[in-house]
Amino acid sequence: MAKPQGIFSPAYKARQIAKTKASRARVAKAVQQQEIGRINAQQRVKPQQASRSSFADEYGILGSETSGTSQAARQAIAQSAEERAFSERQSSADRAYRTQAATTAFERQKELLEPQYTPLPQEAIGGVERLVEEYNKAFGEAKGANEARYQQLLGITDETTGQRAADIRSRSLEERSDLEQGLARTGLSNTTVSPTLTAGSRRREESSLNRLADQMQGTKLGIIERREDQYPDLSALQSSLSYLGEGYGGAGISTLFSALGGINQGTSVDPIPGNFQTTPPGGQAAPSQTQAQILPASSGQKPQRYLGSGVYG
């Protein structure tokens, strides 16, 4: 599958994360500066409040001596309290306004950084399912045709091998028959000459069968190695699904992965298929046609090769 591109690439995601972190850092710094400014303003107000308090105390002391002065002191204290309350309300409103403005700016920047997607319509989901269904159908048909063609080639090879082996045996049998008839005419059929001549004929037959087995093994291995099955183009389907995922965001991604999970991929064809194992007329399981059957020396039997179509050489 092709590497993710666009907003799905790791580089794009890393840039988005870096931008978000930088934005949050700027907002945090702005809030910190506002808090520092508020603390400094409070520290500037405290000396004024202290002077007003001492002034009120002085008026209070004097008020014990004269009632007119006491009334003026109470008015000064009340006015100072109102001013202080007004200043606190104004500072609180200012802090709330600045905090709200910073929060609004942060949310706005967050919206700008995050990509906006449109909802995935039901028609798009149905279209994806149809694409995958059509691809799987074409894949199954192509796989069946490829396997049928492959088995046909192997069957032709087996048939050819068996026919050639039968021809070699037939010629060898005719050769030994001619030798025996010639020996009978000369009166040597019951002598030691007969086994010597027929043994030579059998060696030539075995040599011909071995050459045939090697040749047909090479032919079959060539068919296996050069097998190139043709299937529908998967990259085109993957590209279409990728565009869908990029266009519809989270919903598209979910549909994309669901669709990819339903796609048939690969040929699932064994390099050496099971039909290589056949059973000859005697009922004994035949060895692989690509390997010679070597019997143990202790068995006392002559090593043989399996030539296909239930024929041993």
**Pair of tokens at residue 7:** 């907003």
Q: Is the pLDDT at 137 greater than 60, yes or no?
A: yes
Which segment of 63-72, 127-136, 148-157, 178-187 scores lowest on mean pLDDT? 63-72
pLDDT tens-digit map of 279-304: 333 333 333 333 333 333 333 444 44
Q: Is 293 in contact with 305 (CB distance < 8 Å)?
A: yes
Average pLDDT rounded to a whole number, residues 237-262? 62
**Nearest residue to 287 (alpha-carbon basis) of 158, 269, 279:** 279
State the Cα–Cα distance between residues 150 and 224, nearest whole angstrom.
9
Reported as a single tens digit per residue, the pLDDT across 26-51 is 877 877 777 777 777 776 655 555 55
Q: How far apart are CA 29 and CA 36, in angstroms?
A: 11
| Contact yes or no for 307/313 (Cβ under 8 A) | yes
When mean pLDDT is compared across 158-162, 177-181, 183-187, 190-194, the lowest value belongs to 190-194
Q: What is the pLDDT of residues 257-275, one digit of tens each?
A: 566 666 666 544 433 333 3
Mean local confidence (pLDDT), 120-142: 77
